Amino acid sequence: MKFTSGTVFSIKRDCPPTAGCTTSEAIHRTAALSAFVFSLAAHTDISSETYAYPKLLLVADGEAQSYESDGRTWALAEGDALVTPVDVPVGIRSREGCVYTELILAKETYMNEQIKAGEIVRLAELLPTQDGKIVNMDLAHNDGMKLALMSFAAGTGLDEHAAPGDALVFALEGEAIVGYEGTEHRIHAGENFKFDKGGRHYVRADQPFKMALLLVRT
């Protein structure tokens, strides 16, 4: 997976739109998952295309409108997620500019019932914060990937461990301490962090914190 491990970064800061253009960059490609970062400048458009597999859009910054050729539209803003319908022409356009991550999922991917094709969700609102607990929700998984949400109450955390593959953190709400290979980093909502396969890491929440975790097995 692209990105440098062991440092806090931000997809929305590091992938700004280029005036008058749409840009895309592949960050991961396997049979189980292809992932891209798209940056749309103001008043740009990606024409409708039809796919036989689900695509999950995670909006990092700005606003966009996804649309079908029959006129149906979805208004997307920072923090929103959308699973696009399968076998239907779908495009996306932006009036003010937008940065988003697109996950192209294998057909055999399990999808949680909390996310349905054609419905916008705010990831941070899908699971609660519960005193003294960590709440976990698997959104999508197949043999080669998993996308999960985690909600940490203040004072909770994950002990040091190593993941079975590369992992990308999307901080959704609040802030927390991420320890990685002996160094601590503070991550805030809207920022990202990458763990390499086998990298020793932990999470410590000194306030309520929510994140999405994309794990890819290599």
Q: Is the pLDDT of residue 182 over 80?
A: yes
| pLDDT value for 181 | 96
User: CATH for 11-121?
Assistant: 2.60.120.10
Q: In CATH, what class is 124-216?
A: mainly beta
Domains 11-121 and 124-216 share a fold: yes
Tell me the mean pLDDT in the region 104-131.
93
Query: What percent of the chain has pLDDT above 70?
Result: 100
pLDDT in tens, 128-143: 999 999 999 999 999 9
**pLDDT band for position 163 (cuts 50, 70, 90):** confident
Write out the DSSP string of the chain: --S-TTS-B-HHHHSPPPTT-EEEEEEEE-SSEEEEEEEE-TTEEEEEE--SS-EEEEEEEEEEEEEETTS-EEEEETTEEEEEPTTS-EEEEESS-EEEEEEEE-TT-EE-TTS-BT-EEEGGGSS---TT-EEEEEEEEETTEEEEEEEE-TT-EEEEEE-SSEEEEEEEEEEEEEEETTEEEEEETT-EEEE-TT-EEEEE-SS-EEEEEEEE--
| pLDDT value for 76 | 97
Tell me the mean pLDDT in the region 75-95.
95
pTM value? 0.95
Q: Is the pLDDT of residue 81 over 90?
A: yes
Mean pLDDT of the chain: 95
**pLDDT band for position 108 (cuts 50, 70, 90):** confident
- For the chain, the domains span 11-121, 124-216
pLDDT in tens, 43-63: 999 999 999 888 999 999 999
